[in-house]
């Protein structure tokens, strides 16, 4: 009887720990008005925002999970920086719309001057 009680307590603690770690992970969302704010907050140095961020980037949002190191984000840019930005990223082979630079992957919507980015999955 006591062994079952101890086993039940251990299973309860393990299940509670798993739920807390899974559902209350350490996720942070940051919003920046411009590239200058990104630099001030050192988000590029921390690896949360790509270093090739266009000078005109604005409405920059990045989400990072400190537990899994997953990074997702997006930004808008002005038309004047599109050509330079597109030259700095490379099309990923076997895709039509995914680009890469360093540790990041990008999806670019040229009509809306909008970019989504994420860090490359670890594999």
Question: Is the model's pTM score more than 0.75?
Answer: yes
Range of the domain at 112: 26-119
- pLDDT for 84: 96
| DSSP H helices in 2-123 | 2-23, 35-40, 82-88
Tally of domains within the chain: 1
Instruction: Specify if 55 maps to a domain.
Output: yes
What is the distance between the alpha carbons of residues 37 and 34, in angstroms, rounded to a whole number? Answer: 5
Which residues 6+ apart lie within 8 Å of 107 measured at CB? 97, 98, 99, 115, 116, 117
Confidence band for 24, pLDDT divided at 50, 70 and 90: low
Instruction: Specify if 15 maps to a domain.
Output: no
């Amino acid at each position: 009887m006591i062994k079952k009680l101890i086993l039940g307590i251990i299973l309860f603690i393990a299940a509670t720990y798993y739920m807390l770690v899974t559902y209350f992970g350490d996720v942070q969302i940051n919003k920046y008005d411009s590239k200058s704010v990104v630099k001030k907050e050192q988000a590029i140095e921390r690896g949360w925002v790509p270093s090739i961020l266009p000078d005109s980037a604005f409405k920059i949002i990045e989400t990072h999970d400190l537990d899994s190191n997953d990074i997702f984000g997006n930004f808008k840019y002005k038309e004047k920086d599109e050509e330079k930005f597109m030259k700095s990223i490379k099309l990923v082979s076997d895709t039509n719309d995914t680009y890469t630079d360093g540790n990041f992957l990008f999806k670019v919507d040229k009509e809306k001057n909008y970019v989504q980015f994420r860090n490359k999955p670890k594999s």
